[in-house]
Structure 1
């Protein structure tokens, strides 16, 4: 497969622009995307259980780059393989570990379908860029951008996984009520799980030093950053004893 540079550039620009629109809608429409705690049950609406929904919507993001890698006829540079491993590693965890363990709410079918489409497209373009467009020499493995990006990625992933563990264990099986999360970065921000994922993808973007990766990191910030803000407001409104010192997303700042 030949590198489609024009298509990759167009996708990256479209993703960044979509991020701006996504952020605008979420900031000004609190329940713009009703899933999780903001879910609205509508008569006749089809919903999927949380475990099934998360599995089928995250799986394409893992499979798309893996299939591209399997179909590549020529060897890829080690750096490209490591970067692809970082990307796939996140979605392996989300698909095969997070999904079976989640105790979240049901998800509307239309949101699951939209997530499947996005994960398929993003998985394809991220994988296509790394395998067919990017040019990495072995020296990239010792470049400060790669090393620092890898460290940031791993730290963000650790925060994301640990924060999900805290949230999951707030409930007993079958329980759907919300409680105040405590421990880890939740002592500083209401959206510790979101912060971890945002940090993760900006680390990936730094390590790959590519436009598609930066546009994805920016889109992630725009899509789940406002979610953290709304969660923060939700906690403040619901719990009188919620720690007022906590911020929404950025410790000590916002």
Structure 2
């Protein structure tokens, strides 16, 4: 086996043998199916709101404590790419390691920092928790395996406009996401209950400012990676968080008579 050959994964080889395809083809198929499933879930969410937080009720059945569910569902998207990066030994090169590190940085923050900053931690319906967990496992493998074993970038990619713009978008989106989460956490003073209108930052433009930040992150990631796997990630993301932003927007409009009329749901000035 040469230094550039992919390292076999024990759990993957039997599956690819059974399907009669190699792993690279499997990664492409997973990417296409993620996009299809994202579109289907977006359609379903137009009729059934995402069952988490304020939207959970007894009709959704068993629920999982918010902080616990968030940690468990997010941690695979940190652990799997980290494991794949470490065990690959950087065989695909610096650029590949840098790109997968973007995902690792995001999920480290979401798993080990954001989780423990959550106030209240309203529950999530078990189905929503389980589907999020499955997505994080699948996507962690998809992005991690592709970038650590199969993606090939010339050294000149570091100066390619797609890489530069995509990386800048990623960190801009991450900053918006973290800042928006901070605004939401600090809406209520200690001892206060109920919901308030979020103000400041990107909330002046959209109701789902935290969702918009995450969308910008993964759009930048897809641009920097320039792969069908990263494209699948951002398509699936927008198909799921877009409807959630619209759900929040409608909730605020119905609850607050003085809700800003100019504020959009998800994309500033458009949606």
TM-score range, shorter chain: over 0.9
The aligned counterpart of 2:11 is none
The aligned counterpart of 1:81 is 97
1:1-254 alignment to 2 at 5 Å?
1=7, 4-27=23-46, 29-31=47-49, 33-42=50-59, 45-72=61-88, 75-103=91-119, 104-172=121-189, 177-254=194-271
Using a 3 Å threshold, how does the CA distance of structure 1 residues 206 and 74 change in structure 2: closer, same or farther?
A: closer
The two structures have a TM-score, normalised by structure 1, of 0.94
Using a 3 Å threshold, how does the CA distance of structure 1 residues 253 and 243 change in structure 2: closer, same or farther?
A: same
* Partner Cα separation in structure 1 for residue 208 and residue 162 of structure 2: 27
* Partner Cα separation in structure 1 for residue 254 and residue 262 of structure 2: 15
| Structure 2 spans left out of the alignment, 5+ residues | 1-6, 9-21
1:162 CA drift (Å):
0.4
Q: How many residues align?
A: 251
In the TM superposition, structure 1's runs of 4+ consecutive aligned residues that sit over 4 Å from their partners are: 172-176
* Partner Cα separation in structure 1 for residue 180 and residue 90 of structure 2: 39
Structure (1 or 2) with the larger CA radius of gyration: 2
* Partner Cα separation in structure 2 for residue 48 and residue 172 of structure 1: 26
Contact 2:80 2:144 in 1 (8 A): yes
| Alpha-carbon RMSD | 1.7
Contact 1:105 1:176 in 2 (8 A): no
* Partner Cα separation in structure 1 for residue 159 and residue 118 of structure 2: 37
Contact 1:77 1:138 in 2 (8 A): no
Using a 3 Å threshold, how does the CA distance of structure 1 residues 25 and 176 change in structure 2: closer, same or farther?
A: farther
Helix, strand or coil: the match of 2:268? coil
